[in-house]
């Protein structure tokens, strides 16, 4: 499946997803995404490679898919207000947690928010979060890709928005089924949000 830029409301939009497990029939009627793979490293590599290979850059990149949350209802869809990278910890050398040493960006960065839609703060990391792990995370939702997608897009000067649906969070997450059970519902509800982009 080769990615395609989708024209929405006069804009050229590239949708970025971690895996085709999140790419259900409703979303498939609306766009063909760039699939990067799971986690910050794969997302950064995949997004960079995708943008570098384009003859014309998109007007907007949408990081879209599922997220975990212990604060927000299962099945709810959120526009990402800001994203941070929870893995980055250089506090031993006096750098605040979440700040990348010698970088030119803060720990938490705002995303483009073109929709009149509920917003939530997001934390990206390389771990699947569950149970008491949420206690140490200063954000409403967690994912594994959006911060990396944003950093890659910043190198190309392309704005990024995030759309995430809550697939898991309450209780302890012990198996893959806990992540995938809600994906059909999220497919339908994310599609409604995508339609609002027009």
Q: 67 or 135, which is more confident?
A: 67
Question: How much is the mean pLDDT over the chain?
Answer: 89
> What φ, ψ does residue 74 adopt, rounded to 5°?
-55, 140
Q: How much is the pLDDT for 19?
A: 93
188 pLDDT more than 70: yes
- Residue 171 — pLDDT band, cuts 50, 70, 90? low
177 pLDDT more than 50: no
DSSP collapsed to 3 states, the chain: CCCCCEEECCEEEEEEECCHHHCCHHHHCCCCCEECCCCHHHHHHHHHHHHHCCCCCCCEEEEEEEEECCCCCCCCEEEEEEEEECCCCCHHHCCCCCCCCCCCCCCEEECCCCCCCCEEEEEECCCCCCHHHHHHCCCCEEECCHHHHHHHHHHHCCCEEEEEEEEECCCCCCCHHHHHCCHHHHHHHHHHHHHHCC
189 pLDDT more than 80: yes
**C-alpha 144, offset from chain centre:** 7
Q: 148 or 184, which is more confident?
A: 148
Q: What are the pLDDT digits (tens) for 63-98?
A: 999 999 988 988 999 999 999 999 888 889 888 887
Q: How much is the pLDDT for 137?
A: 85
Q: What are the pLDDT digits (tens) for 136-161?
A: 888 999 999 999 999 999 999 999 99
175 pLDDT more than 50: no
173 pLDDT more than 70: no
Q: How much is the pLDDT for 14?
A: 97
pTM: 0.91
Lowest mean pLDDT among 51-60, 172-181, 183-192: 172-181
CA distance 109 to 28: 29
């Amino acid at each position: 499946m080769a990615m395609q830029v989708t024209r929405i409301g006069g804009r050229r939009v590239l949708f970025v997803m971690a895996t085709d497990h999140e790419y259900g029939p409703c979303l498939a009627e609306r766009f063909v995404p760039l699939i990067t793979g799971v986690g910050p490293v794969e997302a950064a590599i995949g997004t960079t490679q995708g943008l570098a290979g384009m003859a014309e850059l998109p007007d907007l990149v949408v990081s879209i898919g599922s997220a975990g949350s212990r604060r927000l209802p299962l099945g709810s869809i959120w526009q990402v207000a800001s994203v941070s990278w929870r893995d980055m910890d250089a506090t031993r050398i006096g750098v605040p947690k979440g700040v990348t040493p010698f970088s030119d960006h803060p720990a938490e960065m705002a995303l483009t928010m073109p929709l009149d839609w509920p917003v939530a703060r997001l934390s990206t990391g390389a771990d699947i979060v569950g149970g008491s792990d949420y206690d140490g995370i200063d954000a409403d939702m967690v994912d594994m890709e959006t911060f990396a997608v944003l950093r890659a897009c910043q190198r190309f000067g392309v704005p990024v928005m995030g759309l995430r649906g809550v697939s898991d969070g309450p209780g302890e997450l012990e198996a893959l089924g806990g992540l995938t059970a809600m994906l059909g519902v999220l497919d339908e509800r994310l599609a409604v949000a995508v339609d609002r982009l027009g």
